Structure 1
Amino acid sequence: MDERRDGILFLILAVTWGTAFVAIKAGLEALPPVLFAALRYDVAAVLMVGYAAVTSDYWLPRTRADWLTLLVEGTLLIALYNALLFVGQQGVTSGVAAILIGASPILSTGFARLALPSERLAPMGMVGLAVGFLGVALVARPTPSALLGGSALPSVLVFLAAAAVALGSVLVQRLDGGISSEGMVAWSTALGAVLLHGISAGVVGESLASAHLTSRSLFAILYLAVFASALGYVVYFELLARVGAIELNLVSYAAPVVAALAGWLVLGERLGWLEIVGFCCIFAGFLLLKRRAATEKLAPLVARFRPG
């Protein structure tokens, strides 16, 4: 029963986070990108602060570590990540955006090694990093001509969004604040919303006057706030406590599949063969980097289905 419940929760998370890329793409047709992200987190912050207040005893930041963690999460994991992602996704499909964001677990490993130089990667780990970055290059294709012509810029921005998440995740692990996960996500969401409004105010064309609040764009805001943010993070932290980070990281590779399918069904988007090969390389790089932990996690499952 527990395994079935974990499987259902994993599926819910993959679907909500995968379809989020489609909702972003749909909303960008009528809304300025950074303002769109800010409005999403305005709604999400109200929901998540209320949820944290009801479900957690330690939901207000108290210590220096709490405040530093809040600052890192609100700045890197919410504001910078979403500003880069929403702007970048104006020029790439939902599936490509999800694939590039899927590189964040690989980038996290790289940042963690830079933070702790004494913990060197084994040769196979270096191969994993190289394979993962090869996958990113296949998806983004940042050739000199593409960079000079601006056609690769959206992919580069989405990749930088993945880097912001990866760096933020590494820094948060080292701060080790005592506030509950629910409280931290709630307040970092609120801070992120404020910062996104600040960024939006400083960008030309980012005003409410340029926004078209159609039924489709309102649905996109609410879907992202309620399902991808509020519900998504509740499911995420429950799964994190139940199955651990290694298995949960696999959602980064299930979400692109959902995003590609939903983008094709809803928006008529298609992935090219280079994007598919790139996705496979990124996933293979992740498995090579996490091969020991993945083997330990998967060994009981393999033994269960082994003949005899």
Structure 2
Amino acid sequence: MILTYAAFVVLGLIWGSNFIYMKWAAALISPEQIVLLRVFFGFLPLASAAWHKGVINRSQARHLPHFLVMAVVATAFYYFAIVKGTALLPSGIAGVLGGSIALFTAIFSLLLLRTEKLNGLMAAGVVLGFAGIALIARPWEGTANPINHAGVVWMLTGSIILGLSYVYVRRFLAPLNLPPLALATWQVGLALLILLLLTNLAGIGQILQDWRAAMGVVVGLGILGTGTAFLIYYFLLQELGAVAASGATYITPTVALLIGWAAGEKVGIFEVAAVVLILASIAMLQIGRQRAGRERLRAGK
């Protein structure tokens, strides 16, 4: 059990540190190139684990259309959106907005899945989540606001896309009962092929001008932030279940904000309040969904 909770904390730290790595790399190479490198180095540990466990087979190829949707939307475009957003925002702010994934997942689950029903606690969680986002964007400040609104839009677009992808997985992929490691390997591997075809490689070598940025992309974003994070997450799914495993999102915004503050980014009362509201929103959504699940079970008896 100690190993399980250590893995839980490590996953939150890995996810929370991703934003500073993206910020460093964005000063040297394009967002598309960052995503390509991230996916390439993230695919290596996934492919190695999938080969070792023997979870990939030819029969899975008939599900290729679903794998392609996840590769394009939930990997290539999602990673591109958060890199674009992080390039325009302080890394800590980007990390806080990245914590809104749970909010949009809950909203789309309620709208698109018949099994999900809204209760009062979940509704309050949605309101708190949007209040946290508003404290980050602060549109009422107009041109005096130092936060780049285009960056906010990119981050929220990424969160919306990933929230929709979770609903897609529950609707179309979960019923297939494929090993999660197989799904992740197909998803990341196909995304890598797409990115290799579409990415302009001119100037990608500039990342080597800064060893810190280079190691951040290769090790931080790729090997740890993509490949290892997938492996840890699926380990936690087996040990703790989906709801508990997703609780690593509690750690991510806080870690991102603390790293940004340590790197010299300004952290004020609005940013701290936004973290509190978003974390409270995640907690209320999860507890509300658990209550709704128990009520469905009682109603079915």
Q: Given the two structures, how large is their TM-score scaled by the length of structure 1?
A: 0.84
5+ residue gaps, structure 1, are: 297-308
Aligned partner (choices 262, 266, 275) of residue 279 of structure 1: 275
For residues 206-234 of structure 1, the C-alpha deviation after alignment (integer angstroms, 9 at most, x for no partner) is 73368442222321221111111121111
Q: Between 179-188 and 53-62, report the one with greater CA deviation.
A: 53-62
2:124·2:284 contact (CA, 8 Å) conserved in 1?
Answer: yes
Matched residue SS, 1:12: helix
- 1:1-308 equivalences in 2 (<5 Å): 2=1, 4-58=2-56, 62=60, 64=62, 66-116=63-113, 119-143=116-140, 145=142, 151-175=148-172, 176=174, 177-198=176-197, 200-201=199-200, 207-208=202-203, 211-214=206-209, 215-223=211-219, 224-265=221-262, 267-292=263-288
Change (3 A) 1:275 1:91: same
Cα distance, 1:163 vs. partner?
0.9
Cα distance, 1:289 vs. partner?
2.0
CA–CA separation in structure 2 for the residues paired with 1:59 and 1:142: 50
The one-letter code matched in structure 2 to 1:213 is L
CA–CA separation in structure 1 for the residues paired with 2:86 and 2:125: 27
Structure in which a larger fraction of residues adopt helix? 2
Cα distance, 1:59 vs. partner?
5.2
For residues 128-154 of structure 1, the C-alpha deviation after alignment (integer angstroms, 9 at most, x for no partner) is 211111111111234594599993110
CA–CA separation in structure 1 for the residues paired with 2:169 and 2:177: 11
Change (3 A) 1:295 1:148: closer
Change (3 A) 1:71 1:263: same
1:263·1:269 contact (CA, 8 Å) conserved in 2?
Answer: yes
Cα RMSD (Å): 2.7
1:141·1:152 contact (CA, 8 Å) conserved in 2?
Answer: no
Matched residue SS, 1:121: coil
Change (3 A) 1:172 1:137: same
Change (3 A) 1:119 1:249: closer
Cα distance, 1:8 vs. partner?
0.6
1:28·1:36 contact (CA, 8 Å) conserved in 2?
Answer: yes
Aligned length: 288
Cα distance, 1:94 vs. partner?
1.8
1:31·1:217 contact (CA, 8 Å) conserved in 2?
Answer: no
Matched residue SS, 1:62: helix
Cα distance, 1:12 vs. partner?
1.1
Matched residue SS, 1:251: helix
Change (3 A) 1:61 1:8: farther
Change (3 A) 1:195 1:35: same
Cα distance, 1:294 vs. partner?
6.0
Q: Between 50-59 and 250-259, report the one with greater CA deviation.
A: 50-59
Q: Between 138-147 and 30-39, report the one with greater CA deviation.
A: 138-147
2:37·2:218 contact (CA, 8 Å) conserved in 1?
Answer: no
For residues 109-165 of structure 1, the C-alpha deviation after alignment (integer angstroms, 9 at most, x for no partner) is 110111136743123322221111111111123459459999311011011111111
Change (3 A) 1:120 1:8: closer
Cα distance, 1:190 vs. partner?
1.9
Change (3 A) 1:61 1:106: farther
Matched residue SS, 1:89: helix
Q: Between 113-122 and 103-112, report the one with greater CA deviation.
A: 113-122
Matched residue SS, 2:60: coil
1:56·1:183 contact (CA, 8 Å) conserved in 2?
Answer: no
Cα distance, 1:275 vs. partner?
1.5
1:61·1:67 contact (CA, 8 Å) conserved in 2?
Answer: no
For residues 44-74 of structure 1, the C-alpha deviation after alignment (integer angstroms, 9 at most, x for no partner) is 223322221112334556264x324312321
Change (3 A) 1:295 1:144: same
The one-letter code matched in structure 2 to 1:228 is G
CA–CA separation in structure 2 for the residues paired with 1:153 and 1:227: 28
Change (3 A) 1:91 1:278: same
Change (3 A) 1:92 1:58: same
The one-letter code matched in structure 2 to 1:237 is Y
Change (3 A) 1:178 1:118: closer
2:139·2:145 contact (CA, 8 Å) conserved in 1?
Answer: no
